[in-house]
Amino acid sequence: MADAIASTTPTTDTETLTLDRSHRHDLPHHDQPLLPGLPDHISQLCLSLVHPSSLYSVCRSWRRLIYSPSFPPFLSLYALLSSSSTASQNHLNAIDFFTFDPISSCWHLLPHPPPDPPLRVLLHHPSFISRNFPIQSVAVSSNLILLAATTHNFFPALSHPLVFNLLSKAWTFGPPLAAPRRWCAAGSVRGAVYVASGMGFHYSVDTARSVEKWDLRIQDENDRYHLGYFGWEWKRKSGLKDGRFSREAIDAVGWRGKLCMVNVRGDAAKGAIYDVEKDTWEEMPEGMLDGWRGPVAAMNEEVMYALDEGNGALRKYVPERDVWEKIWESERLRGAQQIAAGGGRVCVVCRGGLGIIVVDVVSPLRRFWVLDVPAGFEAVAVHILPRMDRLDISFPVQPSTSMEIR
């Protein structure tokens, strides 16, 4: 599983090794040099050219090196998992946050969100046996963000986004939503988060047509500590022409400077595309809409992959011809709940959340792995982000029994 998420080539500026002498203090402390006869900062330059999976098992100093802040970060899987056995009398479900390290093949439990206010979400309810209530989350830069969920009384669970930052390894609250909502369209593109439509405490035409943008790149340093959420704010954008996207939770997929979304899957689907630069809405191309028959994700916001939850076919969108090309099909992918794309891999939450399938969409062999979730948990959603610095992490670890299938 070592190669399941890790990419051999850095893909962003944050993954570029810093060569400046001022970063020497970031190197791991050890008694022996990284490479005998060479200064550590030169050794690090040499070792950074080797895939971290090859360094991990050699010695402890190299293992510490690949998790140090100055080593090019590999990609890891971040997952929202629900307890498969724990539910309180009011049907609220426990949610935990994990990261899977593809180099050590281990799950690590992330810190718990702040207890005040407590995170109370509804995933299952006996009155809706065939329906799961969604938890909507996005991954932006080095942040895992919870945007929307439902409480036991069917109200929005979050008045503020809940943000976990990989660099600080801490949770914080984002700016308050003008209208807390559930069953909305949620996504990100070019470093900004968007929510659209949805339902608040009661159905409102204004909420069902509204669109809000939160740009994480904008911070007002003067208000950083006064506001408590780094000066971030939501800004109203051009609204939808109707409220058809308020019926269920929808992934707004960031792709080439646009947000693409479909209200329902199947023959009755209606699609829309939002141009973030022009702040305008446009109709979705017919071919794109026809192939949108399950969860969709975009690799680096450039290449879209769609999974047909009916027949288990994974397809790639070709905009020049407005068609979806099938790249792989498997019975295991039928009924998939959610997907994420990054580092040349597409990660699929299997039916019922009982496992995660990782598909190599770059290799012509179309390799894939089945990744077990920790015992007693079910996968709700997955995201792909850079790994965290593990030097001072002491959270419990669950071993993985993932296997590779050719």
Mean pLDDT computed over 168-184:
91
Q: What is the pLDDT of residues 271-283, one digit of tens each?
A: 999 999 999 999 9
Q: In degrees, to the nearest 5, what angle opens at C-alpha 251 toward C-alphas 337 and 405?
A: 35
Q: What is the pLDDT of residues 343-383, one digit of tens each?
A: 999 999 998 888 999 999 998 887 899 999 988 899 999 99
Query: Residue 332 is part of which domain span?
Result: 74-386
CA-to-CA distance for 233 and 146, rounded, in angstroms? Answer: 16
Tell me, yes or no, whether 391 lies in a domain.
Answer: no
Tell me, yes or no, whether 2 lies in a domain.
Answer: no
Tell me, yes or no, whether 129 lies in a domain.
Answer: yes
Residue 85: its pLDDT value, please? 63
Lowest mean pLDDT among 68-72, 130-134, 292-296, 322-326: 130-134
Instruction: Copy the structure tokens of residue 108.
Output: 């690590």
Tell me, yes or no, whether 30 lies in a domain.
Answer: no
CA-to-CA distance for 76 and 386, rounded, in angstroms? Answer: 6
CA distances from 119 to 90, 149, 203, 238 (A): 14, 10, 23, 31
CA-to-CA distance for 235 and 212, rounded, in angstroms? Answer: 5
Tell me, yes or no, whether 35 lies in a domain.
Answer: no
Burial (CB count <10 Å: 0-12, 13-18, 19+), residue 321: exposed
Q: What is the pLDDT of residues 46-61, one digit of tens each?
A: 998 998 888 988 888 8
Tell me, yes or no, whether 225 lies in a domain.
Answer: yes
Dihedral angle at the C-alpha atoms of 88, 89, 92, 98, nearest 10 degrees?
A: 10
Q: Please tell me whether residue 287 adopts helix, strand or coil conformation.
A: helix
Lowest mean pLDDT among 42-56, 108-122, 210-224: 210-224
Tell me, yes or no, whether 16 lies in a domain.
Answer: no
pLDDT at 166 over 80: yes
CA-to-CA distance for 255 and 298, rounded, in angstroms? Answer: 6
Lowest mean pLDDT among 41-45, 135-139, 159-163: 41-45
Cβ count within 10 A of residue 380:
24
Tell me, yes or no, whether 267 lies in a domain.
Answer: yes
Lowest mean pLDDT among 70-79, 111-120, 277-286: 111-120
- CATH number for the domain spanning 288: value is 2.120.10.80
Q: Which amino acid is at 12?
A: T
- Number of domains comprising the chain: 1
Q: Please tell me whether residue 136 adopts helix, strand or coil conformation.
A: strand
CA-to-CA distance for 32 and 130, rounded, in angstroms? Answer: 58
Model confidence, pTM: 0.84
**Residue 67: which pLDDT band, with cuts at 50, 70 and 90?**
confident
Residue 89: its pLDDT value, please? 42
Percent of the chain with pLDDT over 70: 79
Mean pLDDT computed over 23-44:
71
